[in-house]
Structure 1
Amino acid sequence: MRIYIVLICLQVLLLNSTMQLNAQNPLIRNQFSADPTARVFGDRVYVYPSHDIIAKEGRGRVGWFCMEDYHVFSSANLTDWTDHGMIVHQDNVPWVKPNSYSMWAPDCFYFKGKYYFYFPSMPKDTSYTRGFTVGVAIADKPEGPFVPQPMPISNVRGIDPNVFIDKDGQAYLYWSQGNIYGAKLKENMVELASDPVVLGELPGKGLKEGPYLFERNGTYYLTYPHVENKIERLEYAIGNNPLGPFRVTGVIMDESPSGCWTNHHSIIQFKDQWYLFYHHNDYSPKFDKARSIRADSLFFNTDGTIQKVVPTLRGIGVTNAHTQIQIDRYSHISDKGASIAFLDTANRFQGWKTVLDAAGAWVQYNSVDFGKKKPASVTVRALSVNGGSLQIRIQGPYGPLLAEVPITAGNEWQLVKTSKLEFKPGMQNLVVTAMNNSQIEIDWVSFEQ
């Protein structure tokens, strides 16, 4: 057993790699990701999502969810995300059924010097339990390496594990299997300390899954996806005890307007602001089993109820003016003459472009930090078959002018730079406007020192 554990650790270390990702929504822009559990460890936010891959013959069930491993991502500023690489793979977990491709929504929690990573999958020993159960992998650091335990947690049947530790130090495990269940955990964090109970007073009709519990000002919030009609929306119930009873209180996020069947979420407070992490099928608009994680700010009313979160493309975090500002992740867009499209439909991970095809059409991108020093120039990566002109403003479509950028006619992408630049220091909302009726496609904007 000792040699086996050492081999696992070595393999995880070799497979792990650190990659820097600059993102808005979706947060992760080089792979599919779903079911994000965000946690604050120290001065960083760590996100533990599941990892969607496209099933093929002999590799999962074609047309269905397919997941074989987990990555972990972290950020100190909610803008620059580091991929710490793979932390757990189905082939390295002793109890998981080989080639089951069922590494669904996970969670991770810190307790007494260790990080406990909880994940569901299908066991190879069907006499142990039918369907899904939940296992644990343990690490000394939030990014691993994680060592899977040889057996799953006894007496747990279901998916979507979630862990909560109350103020008195008692740990609880939650999961879903038709209903939502909860139980106390022993101090070793890998065994139940009480029999599972069904968390009642929740909607009886429609699928409920993905429980996530947190506490604020003495109130316990049980949040969960629920199919009220045909697809999931995020709802919550409140109570005075980690195991309820809970009273259904409201909706956190409505059903996806594009029809993505699932949603799965977590809620954290980081540097005095609350955030909702969730997922959508941004990179796969016609196939909702390949999803991408997002985040938006979340706010409470004075009575403790949650204000409904409206999904955005801009997401969270501050963008440095000297990076490539992806204005297609807009905060606001004009009603006419402005749209968003993939740069390459054959490789959607290349991202999107902004298309302006009418005079006065504009797109606004908020929270750009210009710092204190005036940039030397601004560069726009653009394409316009007939040529045209752009204006870059701040604060709004009619705000102060920073620069005018002429775009030469052509069939190829070009980098257009101008040093004729006004400057406003500090945090600004950036607006790019078309000055004629020629179609202009814009990849990014960057201000250079």
Structure 2
Amino acid sequence: MFDKILIANRGEIALRILRACKELGIATVAVHSTADADAMHVRLADESVCVGPPPSKDSYLNVPALLAACEITGADAVHPGYGFLSENARFAEILADHNLHFIGPKADHIRLMGDKIEAKKTAKKLGIPVVPGSDGAVAPDQDAMAIAKSIGFPVLVKAAAGGGGRGMKVAHTEADLALALTTAANEAKAAFGDASVYLEKYLQKPRHIEIQVLGDGRGGAIHLGERDCSLQRRHQKVWEEGPSPAIDAASRARIGSTVAKAMQQMKYLGVGTVEFLYEDGEFYFIEMNTRIQVEHPVTEMITGLDLVLEQIRIAAGGDLPLTQDEVTITGHSIECRVNAENPVTFRPSPGKILQYHPPGGLGVRIDSAVYQGYVIPPYYDSLVGKLIVHGKTRAECLMRLRRALDEMVVEGIETTLPLFRALVREPAIIDGDYHIHWLEQYLAGQQPG
């Protein structure tokens, strides 16, 4: 087991990692920018090191500063959390060059799955169903048009090195394609330094379903069921739940088994999530995230497994905690990402939290690093915290979520709590009858179709 872990992140995920380390008896090092000097994980860690000024590139993405912090404190492993350097294969290699353990997958797998085109090719080879589309990058010429016609409009233009909805455009007709290709390529170049784009069939009303996996790096791998992340705004997840109200037990077993076998063939190490679009009973691979997910608590609530703790144990050479036959899904869980944003315009609302009261009671969990008097800085993401609830059934879970949302108090800044209080009372949400376009239609004042 590791002796001391440096947590190369901030906010709620840094605190989440710190808690897992404490339960394993591992010493912790918190790194922080000058803007995060009063952060909760900094206060609770055994040691802390300031790694730079507020901009991420000068602090949380500052690899030399992180290496220096490891050297100063004697840390022997680094947990990257999510975001920042969590899917940076070169960072993982640099740590290895300095005899430091990267708590995450092998660098080759991070690099492979970070390229959306290569990830899709790999998925195909491993027997995972994929969305119909181009075999590689396309250019705004006749070849792209021919491919689009063969797929059938509408088509989705996507950045090969993308994520978070950037470098992603829909072409509904032949006339739209040239502009969509150019715009997506320009966005991809600006955001990722890579203008490569590819084409996929644009599905009309799919669900976004992701399968949580856990691998030991030696050919052992299991899946832990699915999460439904279909409620999205600008391709960003807002509400996640598991199990999906749209998936039956047979479909779950089928896609879960397919994904687990693929991870076994890859000899995948640690936690990961394989993401699909699901429509008319069929799954279509879109990408794999080689890190812990923001919404991992949903899976923890329905399986009883501490995914961050297991991630650390397996990175240290441990075995899988259980076999596939021993995995059980119990009850239902929903997570709401409460952000410091205006609930109508979604304009960021950084500032000081004057009053803070998290909800409690049976089956209610808050993953948050804020406290009364904490100042949410304007430099990073706007996440206040994640409200996660669990119930014996989805109906019970929804009622518990409604109660918890009404109980939660965050004053001094604007938050998205009013949006969730409205959503939990929407008939379509109560019925589980929604898709990836539903929320944007709802927010636009349209009747979601």
- Structures share fold, TM-score greater than 0.5: no
TM-score by length of 2: 0.27
TM-score by length of 1: 0.27
The structure richer in helix per residue is: 2
The structure richer in strand per residue is: 1
Larger CA Rg, structure 1 vs 2:
1
